[in-house]
Structure 1
Amino acid sequence: MAIGVLALLGFQLVDSAFIARLGTAPLAAQSFTFPLSFLIIGIQVGLGIAIAALISRALGAGQEARARRLGSLVLLIGTATIALLALLLWAIQAPVFRLLGADAATRELIRGYWAPQLLAAWLGAALYFGYSLFRAHGNTRLPGTLMVVTSLVNLVLAPLLIFGIGPWEGLGLPGAAWATVAAFGVGLAVLGRHLGHTDWLSREGLGQEMRESARPFAGIAGPAMVSQLMPPLAAMLAITAVASLGEAAVAAWGLASRLETLSLMVVLAMTMSLPPWLGRCYGAGDWDQVHRLLRLALRVIVVWQLGLGLLMALAAPWVALALSGNPEVRDDLATLIRFLLPSYAALGVCMIVVSAGNALGWPLRAMLMSAARLFLFYLPCLWLGAYLGGLPGLAAGAAAGNLLAGLAAWRVLRRILASPRRRASREAKPAVSP
């Protein structure tokens, strides 16, 4: 999964680097779309968490027929939900981007890009739900492989569609989205073929299963989606502060956002691969194994992210040079890298705690932890930093917010891990599905 996440996020960063070659205005236009793209991703990840949790718990309890029914239901409901959301975001694009601070010229650039980007988001969500189904059944190899394949397809097509070849001029900014559409289409075709050779889906008893599983599914998916939707909301609020610092700052922030997700590849891979394992332990009542898994995961995350963050902070000027040709954007990006990348060790701790909470029957606790990270620590520190010190202050404030959130999550998890096994079982009981 780490290899797949690296490939998937890597091509998104490469897309942004290609778009940066078009100029600061197209890069800023793409950056304004990130909060709404994260909104779609937040909902699909929340649904994916519920998919993996319920199916892995059913498998852990030996309920294979129920796992097949759940697989069919969540694929149908998930794709329909994201399609409706994409249509809504297309309809309200003008007032939303105006509210985010995009001027008329930037909104015109966004308009040509937004329709294919929403199509790509829907295809990506359908692909993600398929990945969740495979992960719930313990197969991480195919999702990881397909992430690499789709990334390579996008990597080949993006420069051709953005810049053109020979006498063909290319599509500019929309070309990046159309390349992603093609890449995700290839991934869905391959995934569908493999899914057809499994017995993980069922057409029988779906109505009854929907009635029985609606409450436990909502009990996980609801708080998980709220947790996942809070980052896009925070991103919208953050970009309004960044927009006040100028177009170059917005462009640099967009590149830093891509770099953030890429640098968190191990954390993201663990949040995808660890919950199904935890869910099976949950279904089997093996809480000793749960404790061992979480302790190991946190050690790996802190060591990896801190080492990577310090290395990237030292190499910040060269990384910024590789990603942007504009000197002003390059300087702002280097500043963001120096402050933010080392702080992702603490952010990773918080992400693992939230992911584990959703898998182990503590969705409300996970949601509150997400809310505290963003609205109690991250945004207040970011706004205060921007007010006091411009872009360097904003970067330092965001880093401080990540550090405070990580420390708070660590304290919450220590209390959970220190609890007796019977207390953990008692807390988890209400979330057991019928």
Structure 2
Amino acid sequence: MAIGILSLLGFQLVDSAFIARLGTAPLAAQSFTFPLSFLIIGVQVGLGIAIAALISRTLGGGDPARARRLGSLVLLTGTILIGGLATGLWVAHRPIFLRLGADEGTLTLIGGYWGPQLLAAWLGAVLYFGYSLFRAHGDTRLPGKLMVLTSLVNLLLDPLLIFGIGPWQGLGLPGAAWATVSAFLTGLTILSSRLRATDWLARHGLVAEARRSALSFAGIAGPAMIGQLMPPLAAMLAISVVATLGETTVAAWGLASRLETVSLMVVLALTMSLPPWLGRCYGAGDWAQVERLMHLAFKVVVIWQLVIGVILAVAAPWVALALSGSPEVRNDLAMLMRFMLPSYALLGICMLVVSAGNALGWPLGAMLMSGVRLFVCYLPCLWLGAQLSGVTGLAAGAAVGNALAGILAWQLYRWGIHSARFRVVE
């Protein structure tokens, strides 16, 4: 999963690097779309969490027939929900981007990019639901391989569709979105053929299963989706703060956001692969194994994020040079990297706790932790830092917010484990 996520997030970073060669304005236009893209991702991840948790618990309880019905239901429901959300975001995109701080020139650039990008987001969500189904059944190899494949397809198509070849001038900014559409269609074609070869889906008994499982699914998916929707809302508020510092800082912030997700690849891999395992332990009441898994995950995350964060912070000027052709954007990006990347060691702890909470029967606690991380720790520190010291304060504020979130999440985890063990003893 880590290899697959590295390739998947790497191609998003490659997208931004190619777009940066078009100029600061196209890169800023793409950066304005990130919060709404994260909104779609938040909904799909929330549904994916519910898929993995419910199916893994059902398999742990020895009921594969119900697991098949659940798999069919969540694939159908998720595809329809994301399609409706993407349609709504297209209809309302102009007033939304104006409220985020985009000017008329930026809106013109966004207009040609946003339609194909929404199509890519919908296809990516359907692909993600398929990945979740495979992970719930213990297969992380196929999702990882398909992430690598789709990344390679996108990498090959990006320069062709953005810049063109020979006399054809290319599509510019929209070309990046069409490359992603093609990559995800390739992945869906392969995933569908592999899924048909399994017995993980059912055609009958879906209505009765929907009535039976609606409350339990909503009990997991509801808080999970709310928790996953908080980051895009916070991203919208953050981009509004960043926009007050100018177009150059917005462009640098967009690149830093891509670097953030690449840096967090191990954390993201664990948040995807660990919950199904934890769900089976939860179904079997094996809390000792839960603690062993979580402690190992914490150690891996802290060590990995500190090492990669320090290396990238030291190499910030050279990484920024590779990603942007604008000296102003490079300077701002290097500053953001130096402060923010090492702080992801503690942010990773918070992300693990939130992900594990949904698998271990603490969906409300996970949702509250997400809210505290973003709206109590992160955004106030971000705003205060920007007010006090511009780009430097912005970067330092984000780092402080991440550190506070990690400390609070660790305390929440210890309380949750203690409470669970106490209930077992009783």
Q: TM-score scaled by structure 1?
A: 0.97
Structure 1, 48-57 or 409-418: larger mean CA deviation: 409-418
Q: Distance in 2 between matches of 1:413 and 1:70?
A: 29
Tell me which amino acid in the other structure corresponds to 2:291: H
Distance 2:409 2:90 in 1: 36
Distance in structure 2 (CA, Å) of the matches to 1:226 and 1:420: 24
What pairs up with 1:387-406 in 2 under 5 angstroms?
387-406=387-406
Deviations 1:178-233 (A, max 9, x none): 00000000000000000000000001100000000000000000000000000000
The 1-side partners of 2:265 and 2:213 are apart by: 32
Cα separation, 2, equivalents of 1:418 and 1:62 = 28
- Tell me: CA distance 1:425–1:378, structure 2 relative to 1, closer, same or farther (3 Å): farther
Matches within 5 A, 1:128-147: 128-147=128-147
- Tell me what 1:187 maps to: 187
- 1:71 aligned counterpart, secondary structure: helix
Residue in 1 that maps onto 2:347:
347
Q: Tell me how far apart the structure 2 counterparts of residues 334 and 62 of structure 1 sit (CA, whole Å).
A: 52
Q: How does 1:105-116 map to 2 (within 5 A)?
A: 105-116=105-116
**TM-aligned CA deviation for residue 394 of structure 1:** 0.7
Letter in 1 for 2:47: L
Q: Secondary structure at the match of 2:309?
A: helix
> 2:165 and 2:43 mapped to 1: Cα distance?
37
Q: Which amino acid aligns with 1:128?
A: Y
Correspondences of 1:13-162 after superposition (within 5 Å):
13-162=13-162
Distance 1:419 1:19 in 2: 50
How large is the RMSD of aligned CA atoms in angstroms?
0.9
Which residue pairs with 2:381 in the alignment?
Answer: 381
Distance 1:406 1:206 in 2: 41
In the other structure, the counterpart of 2:326 is: 326
Aligned-partner Cα distance in 2 for 1:66–1:422:
31
Contact 1:416/1:424, CA 8 A, preserved across alignment: no
Deviation at 1:420, TM superposition (A): 6.0
2: CA distance, partners of 1:71 / 1:30: 34
- Sequence identity percentage: 75
In the alignment, structure 1 residue 236 sits paired with structure 2 residue 243: no
Distance in 2 separating the partners of 1:239 and 1:420? 39
Q: State the match for 1:226 in structure 2.
A: 226
Deviations 1:276-303 (A, max 9, x none): 0001111111111111101110011011
Q: Which residue of 1 aligns with 2:294?
A: 294
TM-superposed deviation, 1:415: 2.2
* Unpaired segments ≥5 residues, structure 1: 427-434
CA distance in 2, matches of 1:300, 1:390: 34
Report the residue type matching 1:166 in the other structure. Answer: G
Q: Which residue in 2 is equivalent to 1:432? A: none
Q: How many angstroms apart in 2 are the aligned matches of 1:88 and 1:148? A: 30
Residue 411 of structure 2 is matched in structure 1 by: 411
- List aligned pairs for 1:244-323, cutoff 5 A: 244-323=244-323
C-alpha separation in 2, matches of 1:420 and 1:81: 34
| Contact 1:72-1:202 at 8 Å conserved across structures | yes
Matches within 5 A, 1:194-213: 194-213=194-213
> Could you tell me how far apart the structure 1 residues matched to 2:126 and 2:293 are?
29
Q: Kindly provide the CA deviation profile for residues 214-267 of structure 1, in whole angstroms up to 9, marking residues without a partner as x.
A: 000000000000000000000000000100100000000000000000000000
User: Quick one: distance in 1 between partners of 2:200 and 2:128?
Assistant: 16
Q: Secondary structure at the match of 2:170?
A: coil
Partner Cα separation in structure 2 for residue 359 and residue 57 of structure 1: 9
Partner residue, 2:8: 8
Q: CA deviation at 1:419?
A: 4.3
Q: CA 1:169–1:80 in 2, change beyond 3 Å: closer, same or farther?
A: same
- What residue in structure 1 maps to residue 421 of structure 2? 421
Secondary structure at 1:156 match in 2:
helix
